[in-house]
Amino acid sequence: MNPDSSATTDFSRRDALIAGVASATLLAGAGAAEARSAGRRAAPPSEIATWTAGDLAARIRSRAVSCREVMTAHLDWIDRVNPALNAIVSRVERPALLAAADEADREIAAGRHRGWMHGLPHAVKDLAATRGIRTTMGSPIFADNVPKADEIFVERLRAAGAILIGKTNVPEFGLGSQSYNPVFGVTRNAYDPSRTAGGSSGGAAAALAARMVPVADGSDFAGSLRNPAGWNNIFGFRPSAGRVPHGPTNELFVQNIGYEGPMARTVGDLALLLSTMAGYDARTPLSLDGDPAVFAGPLDRDMKGVRIGWLGDLGGVPMAPGMLDLCLSGLRRLEAAGCVIEPVSLGIDRDAIWSAFVRLRQGFLAGGLGPLYADPAKRKLLKPEAVWEIENGLKLSAVDLYNASVVRSRVYEAYRQAFERYDFLALPSAQIFPFDAGLHWPKEVAGVAMDSYHRWMEIVAGPSLTGCPTLCVPAGFGPEGLPSGLQLVGPSRHDLAVLQLGRAYEQVAGDILGRKPALLG
């Protein structure tokens, strides 16, 4: 399962591509030192850039602050800190953005208000199509790709009034929880620019933590939303399968394991963004019905007697020293809100979970990326991990995928039965703390060798397979002062309940959330 062993992999070629990108100079030790220095030198951002998305929305609507002022504050701050983090890419030119902000102000003056995102700057993850804005997916194959249409959730962001300022950086095709690629280079952690921001929503998480954007969208197959949220001390929500319609896409009648969700610095902002992204769309027949406005309502709920099952390391998933203690300590804060926390086992072999997850992932990737692999010229531009996924996926039979789907159903049933005893389940969102930004991926965890480029994220596979709503909350800071997160999982389609638990957690974790990146001054 290790892409190192594939005859088609060529790390020297991949490294040469990355080295050729100007921003990739940050991979060098001197670059890391320069990035840390730049982060420390940055003066504090304008107060406007520190406001929550909800506060910004209210003040814009009441005309206490103009859309131009909001846009200027964020663009000025991006100019200061983005060079050190490389979180936002494919930026739209400032004059065009200020013109859009001015138009948003004129609309408000005329009594036309698009929605709660009216005039807010927003950067879309670079895996999602954005009309008129370059969408590369981190691949040199699509370095000049400018879509003619938005993805469904992007349409909704624009309709709610968001002004798209660019994209957030990702690993190539979103593969791996380390956001680097040969088009834009590496994205760095907001709390320590010498470390990775995680991935594949690494750019989104770093931009949020650094106050470059009020909220962000992410997507998640194998922790791509949860891991970077935890590593940048923010919230990330992987909603129930179908809650946020994907596409337009060819996968209309297959519920992919990966899909979009919101990221934010507060649970209230997270829920607001979900209220815009969520909701049925006829172009995605498996999307869920229901009024998404429910997520924009009050989130406070009495948590007395709520039972949470602690899954820990799932009976043997390798964990870095201090990770389990940190996450359990964070979870126990909910006892102050009246929650009851008990250890629980799912009763299903973790290797079976991982095997089914890998096979289904390879099947999806072989289908989606197969046409690129079939073209020899484009195949040479694929990262080794992509080639490894595709080649293994092409070896799978229909029976292999069926059997993996059967195991996936067993995993869901194990979670469902656990939810008969517990209201929620909890486990870490990562197995290690943020690692060196120059490292492709960790080769071992706690002395255990990793047999693939994503095995070190095994802890997220179960919730991914179930399609259950899963919220990553900041768990605190580990032995080296680096952040990580905690997954809170709820029953299928109980998204609001999970957000309510997140709100309760937010109220007892103020000291964790109040610890801001040094670059904020």
Which structure tokens are listed for 515? 């610890």
Q: Which helix (H) or strand (E) holds 221?
A: none
Residue 177 is given by DSSP the state S
Q: What is the DSSP string of 191-215?
A: S-TTBB--SSSHHHHHHHHTTSSSE
Give residue 124's pLDDT.
98
Of residues 346, 352, 351, 354, the one with CA closest to residue 312: 346
Predicted pLDDT at 10: 36
Q: Is 156 exposed, middle or buried (0-12, 13-18, 19+ CB in 10 A)?
A: buried
Q: Of these residues, 177, 194, 200, 219, which one is catalytic?
A: 200
Cis peptide bond prior to 517, omega within 30° of 0: no
DSSP classification of residue 348: S
Report the amino acid identity of residue 324: L
Catalytic residue among 23, 201, 219, 224: 224
Q: Is the dihedral of CA 7, 9, 11, 17 positive or negative?
A: positive
Q: Looking up tokens 């194959």, which residue turns up?
A: 141
> Which has the closest alpha carbon to 334: 504, 510, 514?
504
Per-residue pLDDT, 249: 76
* Number of helices (H), then strands (E), in the chain: 18, 15
Give me the half-sphere count of Cα atoms (radius 13 Å) on the Cβ side of residue 70: 31
Cβ neighbourhood burial of 2 (10 Å; 0-12, 13-18, 19+) = middle
In the chain, the amino acid numbered 247 is: G
Give the C-alpha separation, 107 to 112, whole Å.
Answer: 5
- Those residues with Cβ within 8 angstroms of residue 185's Cβ, 6 or more apart along the chain or in another chain: 18, 21, 22, 23, 24, 25, 26, 27, 86
Alpha carbon of 23 to those of 38, 46, 89, 436: distances in Å?
14, 26, 11, 16
Task: Identify whether 125 is a catalytic site residue.
Answer: yes
Q: Are 150 and 162 in contact (CB under 8 A)?
A: no
Domain borders along the chain are: 32-520
For the question of residue 224 being annotated catalytic, the response is: yes
**Rounded (10°) angle between helices 398-421 and 350-374:** 140
- Angle separating helix axes 495-508 and 267-277, nearest 10 degrees: 160
User: In tens digits, what is the pLDDT along the chain, a chain of 521 residues?
Assistant: 444 433 333 333 334 433 333 333 233 333 333 333 344 445 688 999 999 999 999 999 999 999 999 999 999 999 999 999 999 999 999 999 999 999 999 999 999 999 999 999 999 999 999 999 999 999 999 999 999 999 999 999 999 999 999 999 999 999 999 999 999 999 999 999 999 999 999 999 999 999 999 999 999 999 999 999 999 999 999 999 999 998 887 777 777 899 999 999 999 999 999 999 999 999 999 999 999 999 999 999 999 999 999 999 999 999 999 999 999 999 999 999 999 999 999 999 999 999 999 999 999 999 999 999 999 999 999 999 999 999 999 999 999 999 999 999 999 999 999 999 999 999 999 999 999 999 999 999 999 999 999 999 999 999 999 999 999 999 999 999 999 999 999 999 999 999 999 999 999 999 999 999 999 98
Closest CA to 275 of 423, 50, 506, 57: 57
Is 464 one of the annotated active-site residues of the chain? no
Interior/surface letters 7-38, b for 16+ CB within 10 angstroms, e for the rest: eebeeeebeebbeebebbebbeeebbebbbeb
Residue 489 · residue 245 · CB < 8 Å: no
Please tell me the total number of residues recorded for the chain in this structure. Answer: 521
For the 32-520 domain, the top CATH level (class) is: alpha beta
Which two tokens mark 310? Answer: 């602690």
What single string gives the DSSP state of each residue in 235-256?
EEEE--TTSS---S-S-TTS--
Long-range contacts of 254-258 (CB under 8 A, 24+ apart): 255/286, 255/467, 256/221, 256/364, 257/221, 257/357, 257/360, 257/361, 257/364, 257/464, 257/465, 257/467, 258/174, 258/219, 258/220, 258/221, 258/222, 258/224, 258/364, 258/464
Q: Which of 23, 66, 90, 125 is catalytic?
A: 125
pTM recorded for the entire structure: 0.93
pLDDT at 43: 67
> How much is the pLDDT for 20?
39
Dihedral sign, CA of 217, 220, 224, 227?
A: positive
Cα–Cα distance, 326 to 322 (Å, whole number): 6
Separation of alpha carbons 411 and 79, rounded Å: 46
Question: What is the predicted pLDDT for the residue at 64?
Answer: 98
Q: Which residue has the tokens 């039965």?
A: 417
- Could you tell me how far CA 464 lies from the centroid of its own chain? 13
